[in-house]
Amino acid sequence: MGFLLLGLFIVLMLVGVPIAFVIGIVALLGIVGIPYTPEASVPMKMVNGLDSFVLLAVPLFILAANLMNSGKISEKLIDLALAIVGPIRGGLAHANILVSMMFAGVSGASQADAAGVGKILIPSMLKKGYDKETAVGVTAASSTVGVVIPPSIPMIIFAGLTNASIGALFLGGIIPGILIGLGMMIFVYIIAVKRNYPKTARTEFREFAKLFMESIPALLTPIIIIGGIISGFFTATEAAAIASLYTFLISMYFYKTLKMKDLPKILMDTLALSSLSLFALAAASALGELMSYYQLGAMAQEFFANNVGAEWLFILIIIAFFLFVGTFMDAIPAMILFVPIVLPAALEFGIDPVHLGLIVVITLAVGLATPPYGLVLLLSSKIGELSIERSFVAVLPYLAIILVVLLFVAFFPDLAFSIPEWINPDLF
């Protein structure tokens, strides 16, 4: 039965059925095939999978990101980023990366970053003489940082699945996220010098001070969110609600760029984007029950114990597996399905759940920019009017940088966690 379901899963994927429906169909047929199990258990499992306080953070962080885009806060961050790195050769591309890192500290959603920043910077880069491959590649790749630098929706989901500390995961994502951004900037500088990409004029100190002061309310958002979670003042879900409320208030009353008439469209966009992830998550919860019935977790633990004798080999297998899964599945359902399977084996090897969480989240971030599923690649290529094939080739060097940082985190966790341990040793 298991092999038939696996074959059906592959066939449905190949014919182009959306992944959420593939998961749901396989779960339905698999559970119906279990003796004395009613069909009604499938929707029940789906509803139970969504019945979680933690999952409220998903639409709330997406709402915060949409409020940022509609309230023109992302444009303020772009202006500040340009003032900081614009005078460097290839300044617009550097600004693209830097603003994605800033945006990541507010939204935790890479798709919103790619859509909001890409709509502004991709046309600007093309107008300034950048080729389409560079404009699309930089935008798609830098958007993946959104799930690495806290707050991060996948990190919140992982913490809910494994009881790992959300505060530790958030702090642990800071150094890898910065390293990814710096690595991309170094590569951009090399190609910018080679291709003679333009740089902007240096911003006068008075103008820079003005831009910085205007950006302070937006830049305070990640400090409020992460500081509140680490101090225990509020939970991750409450942090998402506070981020949405805070973003709404500064957009409406400080920047005065948001109108009440904009809210219905913002809410509809939030519901549309959230529903994609949450429906896939609900279907994954039902399929997860089916996988539990077949005891795949115990089978995986036994396989690793008998055939994989070294921790480093286990880590490489996990990275390779989630790289493959991330090409056709969103991070949230991927974690719902497979983290419970690999977690017991990881604990047997002495891998801390926080360490495993960073490995899984960074690995799945690569999937956001790889076809056929890669949402940020699809968004960026559409904005830049570039084919998926050419977009994927353009993004490959940046994905290689992410993989280098991933291996650094995987095999040198003490270095990756050094600053977080110094900030709050109780979390590690």
- Residues 411-423 have pLDDT tens digits of 998 877 877 777 7
pLDDT for 2 beyond 70: no
> What is the arithmetic mean of pLDDT over 140-144?
91
Q: Band of the pLDDT at 428, cuts 50, 70, 90? A: low
Helix (H, G, I), strand (E, B) or coil at 369: coil
Q: Residue 397 is encoded by which pair of tokens?
A: 């060097």
Q: Contact 375/331 with Cβ under 8 angstroms?
A: no
- Residues 35-49 have pLDDT tens digits of 777 777 778 888 888
> Could you tell me the CA-to-CA distances from 189 to 77, 90, 146, 396 in Å, in that order?
21, 6, 22, 16
- What is the C-alpha to C-alpha distance for residues 167 and 423, in angstroms, rounded to an integer? 11
> Could you tell me the CA-to-CA distances from 216 to 2, 146, 211, 254 in Å, in that order?
54, 20, 9, 11
* CA distance between the termini of the chain: 43
pLDDT for 23 beyond 90: no
Write the single-letter amino acid at 104: A
> What is the arithmetic mean of pLDDT over 374-384?
88
> Which residue, 122, 117, 91, is CA-closest to 386?
122
- What is the C-alpha to C-alpha distance for residues 309 and 316, in angstroms, rounded to an integer? 12
- What is the C-alpha to C-alpha distance for residues 301 and 317, in angstroms, rounded to an integer? 13
Q: Residue 406 is encoded by which pair of tokens?
A: 């991933």
- Residues 168-180 have pLDDT tens digits of 888 889 899 999 9
Mean pLDDT (the chain, rounded): 86
- What is the C-alpha to C-alpha distance for residues 217 and 238, in angstroms, rounded to an integer? 19
> What is the arithmetic mean of pLDDT over 5-28?
82
Q: What is the CA radius of gyration of the chain?
A: 21
CA dihedral (409, 161, 319, 105) in degrees, to 10, reads -50
What is the enclosing helix (H) or strand (E) of 4?
A: helix 2-14
Q: b or e along 42-76 (b: 16 or more beta carbons within 10 Å of the residue's beta carbon)?
A: beebbeebeeeebbbbbbbbbbbbbbbbbbbbbbb
Q: Which residue in the block uniquely carries the two structure tokens 């298991």?
A: 2
The 10 Å Cβ neighbour count of residue 206 is: 8
Per-residue pLDDT, 1? 63
> What is the arithmetic mean of pLDDT over 162-166?
86
163: left (phi over 0), alpha (psi -120 to 50) or beta: left
- What is the C-alpha to C-alpha distance for residues 177 and 108, in angstroms, rounded to an integer? 12
The percent of the chain in helix, strand and coil, each rounded to the nearest 5, is: 80, 0, 20
- Residues 241-289 have pLDDT tens digits of 998 999 999 989 888 888 889 899 999 988 888 887 788 888 888 888 7
> What is the arithmetic mean of pLDDT over 320-326?
92
Q: Contact 14/198 with Cβ under 8 angstroms?
A: no
